[in-house]
Amino acid sequence: MPEFLLTIIRSILAFLLLMVMARIMGKKQVSQLTFFDYCVGITIGSIASAMAIDQNIKITNGLVGLIIMGLFPVLLAYGSMKSLKFRRLTDGKASVLIEDGKVLEKNMKKSKMNIDELMLFLREKNVFKLSDVEMAVIETNGQLSVLKKSDQQPLTAKQLGITVNMEQGPAIVIMDGKLMNKSLQSLGYSSEWLKGEIQKQGATDYEDVFLGQIDSSGNVYVDLYNDDLQQHKIKQKPLLAASLKKVQADLETYSLQTENPEAKKMYSQQSDKLQQTIDSILPYLKES
């Protein structure tokens, strides 16, 4: 077998197994890895690259090495979940560097951290004065967690006794000029209403919108393909037509949702009347 073809086969096998090992080992971000996880990751990558290009290494030996190095972190993670002592042994434990506003020099030495590094970590947390810090802890992944003193923390609505509405995750309703009907329906809005909202921001139809998003308060964010359109004056006649269509669509929706026969009949009649009105005035709402 030609050497280049053998290299291709070995590389594909190494890549596939490396991908499987990565999925098995979990989805930790790089910033969440402990020093041990970091070392294991480097070792697995080295084995995979060596197995792919070094013809002196048997494929079976490389595969066995990858499997073993990939399974060990899984077994250690399982042991860490079952035993605190085992977790302390493999991952170590967090060290308090600042307590009650005082720097603990002994813990600084144990963590092999100097004052310049400590100040760097604090500045990354937007803390420039040690006097503002109540507690600082170096975590097992090397990140610094900082608790500011009470008088340095921002006020919250709860502390001020203000009741605020619970915020929910926003939903994308327009993507690449296409309306996401399922997302829009799940929020309880109609396409006519949405069209009216995007027209307020300079779009004439969904094709003009690159991205549209609705938050829990019903506010619509629109990003247009042509950003200059947002500066144009909104045409009020098409906007009024879209608003009337939105109301008519809402009446139809209410008619379908209610189980009260009288209410269903009333919504249906009003919807028909409004539709007749829209049909009669629609020619006058078109921009000339």
Dihedral class, residue 38 (left if φ above 0, else alpha if ψ from -120 to 50, else beta) = alpha
Residues 265 and 187 in one domain: yes
Please tell me the predicted confidence (pLDDT) of residue 155.
76
Please tell me the predicted confidence (pLDDT) of residue 239.
64
pLDDT in tens, the chain (288 residues): 677 777 788 788 878 877 777 676 665 545 556 666 777 778 888 888 887 777 787 878 878 887 887 777 778 777 777 777 777 776 678 899 998 888 999 999 988 889 899 999 999 999 998 888 999 999 877 889 999 988 888 877 777 777 766 667 788 999 988 998 888 888 888 888 888 888 888 888 888 899 999 987 778 888 888 776 554 445 556 667 777 887 888 888 888 888 888 888 898 898 888 888 888 887 776 655
Q: In this structure, are residues 210 and 177 in contact, taking their beta carbons and an 8 Å threshold?
A: yes
Please tell me the predicted confidence (pLDDT) of residue 242.
75
Residues 184 and 275 in one domain: yes
Q: Mind spelling out the 3-state secondary structure of the chain?
A: CCHHHHHHHHHHHHHHHHHHHHHHHCCCCHHHCCHHHHHHHHHHHHHHHHHHHCCCCCHHHHHHHHHHHHHHHHHHHHHHHHCHHHHHHHHCCCEEEEECCEECHHHHHHCCCCHHHHHHHHHHCCCCCHHHEEEEEECCCCCEEEEECHHHCCCCCCCCCCCCCCCCCCEEEEECCEECHHHHHHHCCCHHHHHHHHHHCCCCCHHHEEEEEECCCCCEEEEECCHHHHHCCCCHHHHHHHHHHHHHHHHHHHHHHCCCHHHHHHHHHHHHHHHHHHHHHHHHHCCC
Domain span at 220:
171-285
Residues 175 and 279 in one domain: yes
The answer to the question of residue 162 being in a domain is no
Residues 229 and 263 in one domain: yes
Please tell me the predicted confidence (pLDDT) of residue 200.
81
Residues 239 and 180 in one domain: yes
The answer to the question of residue 161 being in a domain is no
Please identify, among 51, 71, 89, the residue that sits at the C-terminal boundary of a domain.
89
Residues 194 and 272 in one domain: yes
Residues 175 and 280 in one domain: yes
Residues 84 and 124 in one domain: no
The answer to the question of residue 165 being in a domain is no
Residues 79 and 133 in one domain: no
The answer to the question of residue 245 being in a domain is yes
Q: Is 159 exposed, middle or buried (0-12, 13-18, 19+ CB in 10 A)?
A: exposed
Among candidate residues 143, 141, 120, the one with its CA nearest the CA of residue 37: 141
Domains contained in the chain, number: 3
Please tell me the predicted confidence (pLDDT) of residue 47.
83
Residues 274 and 206 in one domain: yes
